[in-house]
């Protein structure tokens, strides 16, 4: 029997074909999940009398709904089928605890291959009053820069969209709060958005200087003086990129997207880290960020990146709960194996259950 592919054939080998079809299948499953999920309409939340009226810093005629207003709180998030349920809960939590919810403008970034019409319809049905825009992200442009990490979910190109916010969002947006989709706020986001950045800082985030910073990079990185000296003169500490306040004007002026991309290109040539999109941020910004109180990112509630075991809150007050790590609260609740803290996420879940659909 002849071989399907000879050694000189230009056709791809079987294992690559299998990987390709698995990729198509996973996309199809995600798309099916997006079309089968139905979400309830959230209540409308109103501004308190003290809220400022919004003015715009743009003369553009297409500045619809004050998306350029410098008095608005601008929130950026990614949208995809796999995490849509988490995104809906996060949006609700932001609005519910805001003193000026009508002054919040949401900027959603989704893959250019995603069904933007379906995503827009889903958001509009649950939040018919929400002022938002959806921006396409060319995931093919970044996919060639991604190196495999310790968990497949971390290799999704949309995880890297935060690197490109300064290019994807309108130039008139000067400051934005970036939020992951696996979190909920229990405090007013305007407090976080008002974090002072000082004279030079490009972004602000809670720092965790007790974490073992060296573990985020490989021995090859630390043994190479040319590379490890990048942290010289910096008190470099770990920070979680799922909650950040970013000055987009300073980012653009400093061309920080290019700086991050250069580290990703080096990673493709010699492996200097293991953990997805986080290390390039640490390489560029660690030790040079504005501090934020730890209450604004009680992270790690999803457990470690391998087992997703239950975790407790860190000591101190809580303004934001973040299920970073492998375990997501909606998945554990559906499997009837919730962690104790998943009960704090459940009240924000807008998923329409089959029972309520029948009702």
The helix/strand/coil state of 4 is coil
pLDDT of residue 207: 95
CATH code where residue 168 lies: 3.90.550.10
Which parts of the chain register pLDDT below 70? 1-35, 55-64, 149-154, 354-359
The tally of CA atoms less than 13 A away on the side-chain side of residue 128 is 5
Give yes or no for a contact between 258 and 188, defined as CB atoms under 8 angstroms apart. Answer: no
> What is the structure's pLDDT at 36?
72
Asked if 179 contacts 89 with a C-beta cutoff of 8 angstroms, the reply is: no
Note whether residue 270 is domain-resident.
Answer: yes
Check the CA dihedral 130-325-187-287 and report its sign.
negative
User: Is 42 inside a domain boundary?
Assistant: no
Q: Is residue 245 part of a domain?
A: yes
Give the DSSP H/E element, type plus range, for residue 291. strand 290-291
Q: How many domains does the chain have?
A: 1
- Which pLDDT score, from 0 to 100, does residue 346 have? 98
- By residue count, the chain amounts to 359
Q: What is the pLDDT of residue 177?
A: 98
d(CA 133, CA 66): 11
Half-sphere exposure of 149 (CA within 13 A, CB side): 23
pLDDT tens by residue, 190-212: 999 999 999 999 999 999 999 89
pLDDT at 238: 95
CA-angle at 167, arms to 296 and 121, nearest 5°: 75
User: What does the DSSP assignment read for 258-275?
Assistant: HHHHHHHHHHHHS----S
For residue 141, the model assigns a pLDDT of: 80
C-alpha 295: how far from chain center: 18
Q: Convert the pLDDT of each residue in 62-105 to its tens digit.
A: 566 789 998 999 999 999 999 999 999 999 999 999 999 999 99
pLDDT value of residue 308: 79
Q: Could you tell me if residue 128 is inside a domain?
A: yes
Assigned domain for 167 exists: yes
Q: How many Å apart are CA 61 and CA 70, to the nearest integer?
A: 16
Of 323, 55, 45, 75, give the one whose Cα is nearest residue 193: 75
End-to-end CA distance of the chain: 60
- Residue 238 in any domain: the answer is yes
Cα–Cα distance between 327 and 304 in angstroms, integer? Answer: 8
Between the alpha carbon of residue 223 and those of residues 217, 231, 238, 282, the distances in Å are 11, 13, 20, 18
* Residue 37 within any structural domain of the chain: no
173, with CB counted inside 10 A (0-12, 13-18, 19+), is buried
Give the number of other Cβ atoms within 10 Å of residue 153's Cβ.
13
pLDDT mean across residues, the chain? 87
Q: What is the pLDDT of residue 16?
A: 36
- Expressed as residue numbers, the domain containing 96 is 66-300
Domain-embedded: residue 29: no
199-211 core/surface letters (b: 16 or more CB in 10 A; e: else): eebbbbbbbbeee
């Amino acid at each position: 029997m002849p071989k399907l592919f000879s050694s000189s054939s230009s056709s791809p080998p079987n294992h690559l074909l299998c990987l390709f079809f698995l990729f198509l299948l996973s996309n199809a499953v995600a798309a099916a999940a997006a079309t089968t999920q139905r979400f309830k309409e959230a209540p409308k939340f109103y501004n308190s009398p003290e809220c400022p009226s919004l003015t715009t810093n743009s003369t553009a005629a297409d500045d619809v709904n004050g998306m350029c207003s410098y008095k608005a709180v601008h929130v950026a998030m990614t949208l995809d089928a796999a995490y849509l349920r988490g995104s809906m809960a996060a949006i609700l939590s932001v609005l519910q605890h805001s003193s000026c919810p009508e002054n919040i403008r949401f900027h959603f970034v989704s893959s250019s291959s995603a069904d933007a019409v379906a995503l827009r319809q889903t958001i509009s049905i649950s939040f018919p009053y929400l002022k938002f825009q959806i921006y396409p992200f060319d995931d093919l442009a970044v996919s060639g820069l991604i190196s495999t990490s310790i968990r497949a979910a971390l290799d999704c190109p949309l995880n890297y969209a935060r690197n490109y916010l300064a290019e994807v969002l309108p130039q008139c947006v000067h400051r934005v709060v970036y939020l992951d989709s696996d979190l909920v706020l229990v405090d007013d986001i305007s407090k976080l958005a008002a974090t002072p950045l000082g004279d030079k800082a490009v972004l602000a985030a809670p720092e965790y200087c007790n974490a073992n910073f060296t573990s985020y990079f490989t021995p090859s990185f630390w043994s190479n003086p040319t590379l490890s000296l990048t942290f010289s003169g910096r008190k470099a500490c770990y920070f979680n990129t799922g909650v950040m306040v970013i000055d987009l004007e300073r980012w653009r002026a400093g061309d920080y997207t290019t700086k991050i991309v250069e580290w990703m290109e080096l990673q493709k040539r010699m492996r200097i880290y293991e953990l997805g999109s986080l290390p390039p941020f640490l390489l560029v910004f660690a030790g040079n960020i504005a501090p934020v109180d730890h209450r604004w990112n009680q992270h790690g509630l999803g457990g470690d990146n391998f087992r997703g075991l239950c975790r407790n809150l860190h000591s101190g007050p809580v303004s934001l709960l973040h299920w970073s790590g492998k375990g997501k609260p909606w998945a554990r609740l559906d499997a009837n194996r919730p962690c104790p803290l998943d009960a704090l996420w459940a009240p924000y879940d807008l998923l329409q259950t089959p029972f309520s659909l029948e009702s």
